[in-house]
Amino acid sequence: GKSGYDHFMLKEIHEQPRALRQCLRGRVEEQTASVDIGDLADLAPTGVQFVACGTSYHAAMYGAQLFRDAGVPAQAFLASEYATSPPPVGNSLVVGISQSGETADTLSALREAESRGARTLTLTNTVGSTMDRECDHTLYIRSGPEIGVAASKTFAGQLTALNLFSMATAERNSTRRDVVPELRKLPGNVQKILDSSSAEAVADYYEDAESYFFIGRGYQYPVALEGALKLKEISYEHAEGFAAGELKHGPLALVDENTPVFAMAVGDDEKARKTLGNIKEVEARDAPVVAVTDGRNDAERYADHVLEIPETHPRAAAVLGNVQLQLVSYHIADQLGRSIDKPRNLAKSVTVE
């Protein structure tokens, strides 16, 4: 049942601390900053191609960035396009990310890769799924069952498991020492957001907007895309996600006082400064700005509303910022009276190409 929540989605959003604890259990050791994912650590890929659809594709974009940051060439592909126009696989490991393990587009991309001699791995939530059975290797995200059509806790699980995977197979000690403690703090930090989020008030304020933009850079870019997908999927409102730097190359023409812009503003480095510049660009066009921020940059000065997240590593900030966006989408959809757990035209598991 829904354990007292109005929708499975809200229940599953609130299950994230537990899902993340499960994902991390026995796999990270803080003292030595070590990561244990068993034999998978031996994979040490020299290249990675991720294939996935929808929310899982956003996780794939994040995963590819993790590997690139570790010096390993990596790319994310939409599974339907991969199967249509497969790239050379070389020695790459091909990783299919899928909550269900049954998505037809992802399955056929994996089969295509396999037929070209690639080693395959699936990152999935579903033990015994077709991908679990067909791929050479599996890394489980351990999120527990997800009933709502909208992926919520499983996206958090995917991002977390991707960190484990990249740390165990590609990353240096120094990175692990920075990241492992922040992963350990994730369940508690997600709980803090769930306990104190002002997302419902923000949703109330903006529920009449015509169109919603989401922007982010680096690890926050896939989160911007995910924020927009979630909102359109469950509220039926128009929403778009962009790389923050891409706005002025076209989409900025659409921005006016009726276009709330949700900006992921995390950290105080060069990336954060550039994103702040993008926030100023939309603010100058009178767009309302909602900053999802850890307070380490000046974003709140230019923002009409702020959704706070605890200070952490940018990779963990992606999980935390996403929780705020999930809550905003949920509350907008709820106020509009939408069928949140079963949006029109959509299925939980898409088994046709």
Catalytic residue list: 348
> What residue number has its CB nearest to ligand M6R?
54
Contact 2, 309 (CB under 8 A): no
Pick the closer one to ligand M6R by CB: 56 or 220: 56
Nearest-approach distance from CB 262 to ligand M6R, in angstroms? 17
CA dihedral 59, 310, 232, 338 (to 10 degrees): 120
Nearest-approach distance from CB 238 to ligand M6R, in angstroms? 17
Q: Could you tell me how many residues make up the chain?
A: 353
Q: Give the DSSP H or E segment for 233.
A: helix 221-235
Nearest-approach distance from CB 149 to ligand M6R, in angstroms? 5
Angle (CA) 128 131 134, round 5° = 95
Q: Give the DSSP H or E segment for 27.
A: none
Nearest-approach distance from CB 48 to ligand M6R, in angstroms? 18
Pick the closer one to ligand M6R by CB: 233 or 341: 233
Catalog residues that contact ligand M6R under the rule CB under 6 A: 53-56, 98-100, 103, 106, 149-151, 233, 349-350
C-alpha distances out from residue 237 to 24, 29, 229, 240, 333, Å: 35, 43, 10, 10, 9
> Would you tell me how many other CB atoms lie within 10 Å of the CB of residue 31?
6
Six token digits for residue 257:
């006082």
Pick the closer one to ligand M6R by CB: 171 or 226: 226
Pick the closer one to ligand M6R by CB: 99 or 312: 99
Q: In what order do the strands lie in the sheet with 238-243?
A: 238-243, 211-216, 261-265, 289-293, 305-308
Nearest-approach distance from CB 128 to ligand M6R, in angstroms? 14
Pick the closer one to ligand M6R by CB: 114 or 298: 114
Contact 331, 305 (CB under 8 A): no
Contact 245, 256 (CB under 8 A): no
Pick the closer one to ligand M6R by CB: 37 or 110: 110
d(CA 108, CA 117): 14
Location of structure tokens 């380490």: 296
Nearest-approach distance from CB 106 to ligand M6R, in angstroms? 5
Contact 118, 89 (CB under 8 A): yes
